[in-house]
Amino acid sequence: MSYDLVIIGAGPAGLTAGIYAAARKLNAVILEAGDGGGQPGNVYPEKPMANYPGLPVNETRDLMARFSEHALKAGCDIRRRERALDIADKGDVLLVHSEKAEYETKAVILATGGGLYKPKRLGAVGEEEFEGRGVYYRLPETHLLEGKRVLFVGGGNSALEMALLCATMPDTYTCLVHRRDTFRADACNVDRLGPEGVKTYLCSEVAEIKGKDKVESVILKVGDPPELEEMPIDMVVIHIGFTTEPEDIKRWGIEPQDGLIKVGTDMRTSRRGVFACGDIVTYPGKYKQIVVACGEAATAANSAYKYIAKPYWA
Ligand SMILES: Cc1cc2nc3c(=O)[nH]c(=O)nc-3n(C[C@H](O)[C@H](O)[C@H](O)COP(=O)(O)OP(=O)(O)OC[C@H]3O[C@@H](n4cnc5c(N)ncnc54)[C@H](O)[C@@H]3O)c2cc1C
Protein backbone atom coordinates (compact mmCIF):
# COMPACT_ATOMS: atom_id res chain seq x y z
CA MET A 1 0.00 0.00 0.00
CA SER A 2 1.47 3.34 -1.03
CA TYR A 3 0.38 6.70 0.41
CA ASP A 4 1.36 10.34 0.39
CA LEU A 5 0.85 10.63 4.12
CA VAL A 6 0.31 8.39 7.13
CA ILE A 7 -1.15 10.09 10.21
CA ILE A 8 -0.71 8.21 13.47
CA GLY A 9 -3.45 8.87 16.05
CA ALA A 10 -7.10 9.89 15.65
CA GLY A 11 -7.45 12.30 18.55
CA PRO A 12 -8.12 16.03 17.97
CA ALA A 13 -4.70 16.55 16.33
CA GLY A 14 -4.76 13.50 14.04
CA LEU A 15 -8.33 14.09 12.85
CA THR A 16 -7.61 17.75 12.15
CA ALA A 17 -4.45 16.84 10.23
CA GLY A 18 -6.60 14.42 8.22
CA ILE A 19 -9.13 17.13 7.35
CA TYR A 20 -6.38 19.49 6.18
CA ALA A 21 -4.61 16.72 4.23
CA ALA A 22 -7.92 15.86 2.51
CA ALA A 23 -8.34 19.51 1.47
CA ARG A 24 -4.91 19.30 -0.20
CA LYS A 25 -6.01 16.04 -1.89
CA LEU A 26 -3.20 14.10 -0.29
CA ASN A 27 -3.70 10.34 -0.38
CA ALA A 28 -3.65 9.88 3.40
CA VAL A 29 -4.54 7.23 5.95
CA ILE A 30 -5.08 7.71 9.69
CA LEU A 31 -4.04 4.82 11.93
CA GLU A 32 -5.68 4.70 15.36
CA ALA A 33 -4.79 2.16 18.04
CA GLY A 34 -8.17 2.33 19.76
CA ASP A 35 -11.59 3.57 18.75
CA GLY A 36 -10.37 7.17 18.30
CA GLY A 37 -11.39 10.38 19.99
CA GLY A 38 -8.14 10.66 21.95
CA GLN A 39 -8.22 11.90 25.53
CA PRO A 40 -11.52 13.81 25.16
CA GLY A 41 -13.29 10.71 23.84
CA ASN A 42 -11.75 8.23 26.26
CA VAL A 43 -10.49 9.91 29.41
CA TYR A 44 -13.16 12.58 30.02
CA PRO A 45 -16.04 11.89 27.58
CA GLU A 46 -18.72 13.19 29.97
CA LYS A 47 -16.99 16.42 30.99
CA PRO A 48 -18.50 19.64 29.59
CA MET A 49 -16.21 21.37 27.10
CA ALA A 50 -16.50 25.12 27.45
CA ASN A 51 -13.36 26.34 25.71
CA TYR A 52 -13.53 24.95 22.20
CA PRO A 53 -14.44 28.12 20.31
CA GLY A 54 -17.86 28.20 18.72
CA LEU A 55 -18.84 24.74 19.89
CA PRO A 56 -19.39 24.54 23.65
CA VAL A 57 -20.84 21.10 24.49
CA ASN A 58 -22.22 19.50 27.62
CA GLU A 59 -20.31 16.31 26.94
CA THR A 60 -16.90 16.32 25.31
CA ARG A 61 -17.61 13.11 23.46
CA ASP A 62 -20.16 15.03 21.37
CA LEU A 63 -17.37 17.33 20.22
CA MET A 64 -15.22 14.33 19.31
CA ALA A 65 -18.11 12.72 17.44
CA ARG A 66 -18.28 15.91 15.35
CA PHE A 67 -14.52 15.79 14.71
CA SER A 68 -14.82 12.21 13.55
CA GLU A 69 -17.88 12.88 11.38
CA HIS A 70 -16.16 15.89 9.82
CA ALA A 71 -13.03 13.87 9.03
CA LEU A 72 -15.06 11.06 7.45
CA LYS A 73 -17.10 13.55 5.39
CA ALA A 74 -13.87 15.17 4.21
CA GLY A 75 -12.90 11.73 2.88
CA CYS A 76 -10.39 10.62 5.53
CA ASP A 77 -9.54 6.92 5.59
CA ILE A 78 -9.50 6.10 9.32
CA ARG A 79 -8.26 2.64 10.33
CA ARG A 80 -9.36 2.00 13.92
CA ARG A 81 -7.87 -0.60 16.25
CA GLU A 82 -4.68 -0.56 14.25
CA ARG A 83 -1.70 0.53 16.28
CA ALA A 84 1.31 1.89 14.40
CA LEU A 85 4.43 0.13 15.62
CA ASP A 86 7.42 1.72 13.93
CA ILE A 87 8.72 3.78 11.01
CA ALA A 88 11.53 2.46 8.83
CA ASP A 89 13.47 4.17 6.03
CA LYS A 90 13.22 2.83 2.47
CA GLY A 91 15.24 5.04 0.17
CA ASP A 92 13.37 8.34 -0.24
CA VAL A 93 10.19 7.01 1.35
CA LEU A 94 9.17 5.73 4.75
CA LEU A 95 7.60 2.45 5.78
CA VAL A 96 5.09 2.52 8.62
CA HIS A 97 4.51 -0.87 10.20
CA SER A 98 1.25 -1.34 12.03
CA GLU A 99 -0.24 -4.33 13.83
CA LYS A 100 -2.05 -5.20 10.59
CA ALA A 101 -0.15 -3.90 7.57
CA GLU A 102 2.82 -2.06 6.12
CA TYR A 103 2.33 1.40 4.56
CA GLU A 104 4.79 2.98 2.16
CA THR A 105 4.51 6.73 2.51
CA LYS A 106 6.20 9.98 1.55
CA ALA A 107 5.56 11.60 4.95
CA VAL A 108 4.26 10.84 8.43
CA ILE A 109 2.45 12.99 10.99
CA LEU A 110 2.76 11.77 14.55
CA ALA A 111 -0.34 12.73 16.55
CA THR A 112 -0.09 10.13 19.30
CA GLY A 113 -0.88 12.61 22.09
CA GLY A 114 -1.15 11.16 25.58
CA GLY A 115 -0.45 7.67 24.25
CA LEU A 116 -2.58 4.56 24.35
CA TYR A 117 -5.76 4.18 26.34
CA LYS A 118 -6.02 1.03 28.39
CA PRO A 119 -9.27 0.12 30.08
CA LYS A 120 -9.14 0.34 33.88
CA ARG A 121 -9.24 -3.03 35.64
CA LEU A 122 -11.43 -3.84 38.62
CA GLY A 123 -8.77 -5.84 40.39
CA ALA A 124 -11.29 -8.61 41.16
CA VAL A 125 -10.14 -12.17 41.72
CA GLY A 126 -10.40 -14.10 38.41
CA GLU A 127 -10.63 -10.94 36.24
CA GLU A 128 -7.25 -11.41 34.58
CA GLU A 129 -7.63 -15.19 34.31
CA PHE A 130 -10.90 -14.91 32.37
CA GLU A 131 -10.09 -11.91 30.16
CA GLY A 132 -11.34 -12.76 26.66
CA ARG A 133 -13.12 -15.86 28.04
CA GLY A 134 -16.13 -14.08 29.50
CA VAL A 135 -14.47 -10.91 30.84
CA TYR A 136 -14.52 -7.99 28.37
CA TYR A 137 -13.76 -4.27 28.43
CA ARG A 138 -15.85 -3.46 25.34
CA LEU A 139 -19.28 -4.68 24.41
CA PRO A 140 -18.94 -7.96 22.49
CA GLU A 141 -20.78 -8.13 19.16
CA THR A 142 -24.48 -8.06 20.02
CA HIS A 143 -25.33 -11.47 18.52
CA LEU A 144 -22.91 -13.02 21.05
CA LEU A 145 -25.07 -11.63 23.87
CA GLU A 146 -28.18 -13.55 22.82
CA GLY A 147 -29.35 -16.01 25.47
CA LYS A 148 -26.57 -14.91 27.86
CA ARG A 149 -26.50 -13.70 31.48
CA VAL A 150 -24.45 -10.52 31.26
CA LEU A 151 -23.17 -8.44 34.15
CA PHE A 152 -22.02 -4.87 33.40
CA VAL A 153 -19.81 -2.86 35.76
CA GLY A 154 -19.80 0.96 35.78
CA GLY A 155 -21.93 3.97 36.54
CA GLY A 156 -21.43 6.31 33.57
CA ASN A 157 -23.42 6.71 30.37
CA SER A 158 -21.23 4.25 28.45
CA ALA A 159 -21.82 1.38 30.90
CA LEU A 160 -25.55 2.12 31.10
CA GLU A 161 -25.98 2.44 27.33
CA MET A 162 -24.21 -0.90 26.82
CA ALA A 163 -26.44 -2.58 29.44
CA LEU A 164 -29.58 -1.09 27.87
CA LEU A 165 -28.52 -2.35 24.44
CA CYS A 166 -27.82 -5.81 25.83
CA ALA A 167 -31.28 -5.90 27.45
CA THR A 168 -32.88 -5.57 23.99
CA MET A 169 -31.27 -8.83 22.79
CA PRO A 170 -33.41 -11.98 22.90
CA ASP A 171 -33.34 -14.11 26.07
CA THR A 172 -30.69 -12.14 27.92
CA TYR A 173 -30.46 -11.50 31.64
CA THR A 174 -28.77 -8.11 32.13
CA CYS A 175 -27.56 -6.65 35.39
CA LEU A 176 -25.50 -3.58 36.23
CA VAL A 177 -23.18 -3.19 39.21
CA HIS A 178 -21.93 0.17 40.49
CA ARG A 179 -19.89 0.77 43.62
CA ARG A 180 -21.59 4.07 44.51
CA ASP A 181 -25.16 4.75 45.65
CA THR A 182 -26.14 6.69 42.50
CA PHE A 183 -25.22 6.45 38.83
CA ARG A 184 -23.17 9.19 37.16
CA ALA A 185 -25.05 8.67 33.91
CA ASP A 186 -27.79 10.95 32.54
CA ALA A 187 -31.22 10.64 34.14
CA CYS A 188 -32.69 9.69 30.76
CA ASN A 189 -30.53 6.54 30.76
CA VAL A 190 -30.95 5.81 34.47
CA ASP A 191 -34.76 6.02 34.19
CA ARG A 192 -34.79 3.40 31.42
CA LEU A 193 -32.92 0.73 33.41
CA GLY A 194 -35.87 -0.71 35.39
CA PRO A 195 -38.51 -0.53 32.64
CA GLU A 196 -36.12 -2.12 30.13
CA GLY A 197 -35.31 -5.04 32.42
CA VAL A 198 -31.80 -4.18 33.67
CA LYS A 199 -31.38 -5.34 37.28
CA THR A 200 -29.21 -2.89 39.23
CA TYR A 201 -26.87 -3.37 42.18
CA LEU A 202 -25.77 -0.08 43.75
CA CYS A 203 -23.13 0.16 46.53
CA SER A 204 -21.89 -3.16 45.17
CA GLU A 205 -18.64 -4.57 43.83
CA VAL A 206 -17.47 -7.65 41.98
CA ALA A 207 -15.38 -9.61 44.48
CA GLU A 208 -14.62 -12.70 42.38
CA ILE A 209 -15.19 -14.05 38.89
CA LYS A 210 -15.38 -17.84 38.81
CA GLY A 211 -15.51 -20.64 36.26
CA LYS A 212 -13.60 -23.50 34.68
CA ASP A 213 -12.70 -22.73 31.04
CA LYS A 214 -14.86 -19.61 30.91
CA VAL A 215 -16.87 -17.40 33.26
CA GLU A 216 -19.66 -19.27 35.02
CA SER A 217 -20.48 -17.16 38.07
CA VAL A 218 -19.67 -13.98 39.93
CA ILE A 219 -19.48 -13.26 43.64
CA LEU A 220 -20.78 -9.78 44.41
CA LYS A 221 -20.28 -7.73 47.56
CA VAL A 222 -23.75 -6.21 47.80
CA GLY A 223 -24.81 -3.20 49.88
CA ASP A 224 -23.41 -1.52 52.95
CA PRO A 225 -22.56 -3.38 55.16
CA PRO A 226 -21.64 -5.80 52.37
CA GLU A 227 -23.13 -9.25 51.96
CA LEU A 228 -21.68 -11.80 49.57
CA GLU A 229 -23.97 -13.06 46.81
CA GLU A 230 -23.00 -15.58 44.11
CA MET A 231 -24.92 -15.53 40.83
CA PRO A 232 -24.60 -17.51 37.61
CA ILE A 233 -23.17 -15.21 34.89
CA ASP A 234 -21.76 -15.89 31.39
CA MET A 235 -20.15 -12.54 30.63
CA VAL A 236 -18.74 -9.64 32.64
CA VAL A 237 -18.41 -6.35 30.72
CA ILE A 238 -16.33 -3.78 32.61
CA HIS A 239 -16.50 -0.11 31.70
CA ILE A 240 -15.04 1.98 34.50
CA GLY A 241 -12.78 4.31 32.52
CA PHE A 242 -9.35 4.36 30.92
CA THR A 243 -5.76 4.92 31.92
CA THR A 244 -3.14 6.25 29.53
CA GLU A 245 0.13 4.60 28.66
CA PRO A 246 2.70 6.83 26.93
CA GLU A 247 4.16 5.72 23.60
CA ASP A 248 7.90 5.26 23.36
CA ILE A 249 9.10 8.09 21.10
CA LYS A 250 12.43 6.37 20.45
CA ARG A 251 10.51 3.81 18.39
CA TRP A 252 9.68 6.58 15.92
CA GLY A 253 13.39 7.20 15.43
CA ILE A 254 13.27 10.54 17.22
CA GLU A 255 15.30 11.54 20.25
CA PRO A 256 12.79 12.47 22.97
CA GLN A 257 12.97 15.64 25.04
CA ASP A 258 11.43 15.04 28.46
CA GLY A 259 9.40 12.23 26.90
CA LEU A 260 8.03 14.48 24.14
CA ILE A 261 8.95 15.39 20.54
CA LYS A 262 10.74 18.64 19.88
CA VAL A 263 9.39 20.43 16.80
CA GLY A 264 10.10 23.61 14.88
CA THR A 265 7.47 26.24 14.18
CA ASP A 266 6.47 24.25 11.05
CA MET A 267 5.94 21.09 13.17
CA ARG A 268 8.92 19.38 11.57
CA THR A 269 10.71 16.83 13.78
CA SER A 270 14.40 15.90 13.71
CA ARG A 271 13.58 13.04 11.33
CA ARG A 272 13.22 13.75 7.59
CA GLY A 273 9.62 13.46 6.37
CA VAL A 274 8.23 13.10 9.89
CA PHE A 275 6.05 15.86 11.37
CA ALA A 276 4.28 15.93 14.73
CA CYS A 277 1.48 17.84 16.44
CA GLY A 278 -0.71 17.88 19.53
CA ASP A 279 0.13 16.76 23.06
CA ILE A 280 3.10 14.70 21.90
CA VAL A 281 5.10 17.80 20.92
CA THR A 282 7.05 20.28 22.96
CA TYR A 283 8.40 23.80 22.41
CA PRO A 284 8.72 26.81 24.68
CA GLY A 285 5.27 27.97 25.75
CA LYS A 286 3.48 24.77 24.64
CA TYR A 287 -0.08 24.66 26.06
CA LYS A 288 -1.82 21.27 26.03
CA GLN A 289 -5.30 22.11 24.79
CA ILE A 290 -7.51 20.84 21.98
CA VAL A 291 -7.54 24.13 20.15
CA VAL A 292 -3.73 24.22 20.24
CA ALA A 293 -3.49 20.61 19.01
CA CYS A 294 -5.80 21.52 16.10
CA GLY A 295 -3.77 24.60 15.18
CA GLU A 296 -0.55 22.59 15.19
CA ALA A 297 -2.23 19.85 13.11
CA ALA A 298 -3.18 22.36 10.42
CA THR A 299 0.44 23.54 10.31
CA ALA A 300 1.78 19.95 10.29
CA ALA A 301 -0.51 18.97 7.39
CA ASN A 302 0.49 22.07 5.44
CA SER A 303 4.19 21.42 6.09
CA ALA A 304 3.78 17.78 5.03
CA TYR A 305 2.05 18.98 1.84
CA LYS A 306 4.92 21.37 1.08
CA TYR A 307 7.41 18.57 1.73
CA ILE A 308 5.56 16.10 -0.52
CA ALA A 309 4.31 18.32 -3.36
CA LYS A 310 6.90 21.11 -3.28
CA PRO A 311 4.44 23.75 -4.59
CA TYR A 312 5.88 26.91 -6.20
CA TRP A 313 4.97 28.99 -3.13
CA ALA A 314 6.65 26.77 -0.57
C1 LIG B 1 -8.76 15.27 32.29
C2 LIG B 1 -8.42 16.16 31.13
C3 LIG B 1 -9.23 17.26 30.86
C4 LIG B 1 -8.93 18.10 29.79
N5 LIG B 1 -9.76 19.16 29.55
C6 LIG B 1 -9.53 19.94 28.46
C7 LIG B 1 -10.40 21.03 28.16
O8 LIG B 1 -11.36 21.31 28.88
N9 LIG B 1 -10.14 21.77 27.03
C10 LIG B 1 -9.07 21.48 26.20
O11 LIG B 1 -8.94 22.16 25.18
N12 LIG B 1 -8.23 20.47 26.49
C13 LIG B 1 -8.42 19.69 27.58
N14 LIG B 1 -7.55 18.65 27.86
C15 LIG B 1 -6.36 18.45 26.99
C16 LIG B 1 -6.74 17.81 25.64
O17 LIG B 1 -7.53 16.64 25.85
C18 LIG B 1 -5.49 17.46 24.84
O19 LIG B 1 -4.73 18.63 24.66
C20 LIG B 1 -5.86 16.86 23.47
O21 LIG B 1 -6.60 15.68 23.63
C22 LIG B 1 -4.59 16.55 22.65
O23 LIG B 1 -5.00 15.95 21.46
P24 LIG B 1 -4.02 14.95 20.65
O25 LIG B 1 -4.77 14.55 19.42
O26 LIG B 1 -2.69 15.56 20.54
O27 LIG B 1 -3.81 13.67 21.60
P28 LIG B 1 -4.80 12.62 22.23
O29 LIG B 1 -6.11 13.24 22.55
O30 LIG B 1 -4.04 12.00 23.33
O31 LIG B 1 -5.04 11.55 21.04
C32 LIG B 1 -3.99 10.71 20.61
C33 LIG B 1 -4.57 9.51 19.84
O34 LIG B 1 -3.49 8.75 19.30
C35 LIG B 1 -3.75 7.36 19.45
N36 LIG B 1 -2.47 6.64 19.43
C37 LIG B 1 -1.46 6.73 20.35
N38 LIG B 1 -0.45 5.92 19.98
C39 LIG B 1 -0.82 5.33 18.80
C40 LIG B 1 -0.20 4.40 17.91
N41 LIG B 1 1.03 3.89 18.15
N42 LIG B 1 -0.87 3.99 16.80
C43 LIG B 1 -2.12 4.49 16.52
N44 LIG B 1 -2.75 5.36 17.33
C45 LIG B 1 -2.11 5.79 18.45
C46 LIG B 1 -4.47 7.28 20.77
O47 LIG B 1 -5.22 6.06 20.87
C48 LIG B 1 -5.36 8.54 20.71
O49 LIG B 1 -6.63 8.28 20.14
C50 LIG B 1 -7.81 17.83 28.95
C51 LIG B 1 -7.00 16.71 29.21
C52 LIG B 1 -7.29 15.88 30.29
C53 LIG B 1 -6.41 14.68 30.56
Write the CA distances from 238 to 178, 205, 282, integer angstroms.
10, 11, 35
The confidence score (pLDDT) of residue 161 equals: 87
Mean pLDDT rounded to a whole number for the chain: 94
Per-residue confidence band for 115, with pLDDT thresholds at 50, 70 and 90: very high
Rounded to a whole number of angstroms, the distance between the first and last alpha carbons of the chain is: 28
- The answer on pLDDT for 46 being more than 80 is no
CB atoms within 10 A of CB 58: 13
Q: Ligand 1 — pocket residues by CB below 6 A? A: 8-14, 31-34, 36, 38-40, 43-44, 49, 51, 83-84, 111-117, 247, 278-279, 288-291, 293
Distance 170 CA to ligand 1 centre (A): 38
What pLDDT score does 75 carry? Answer: 95
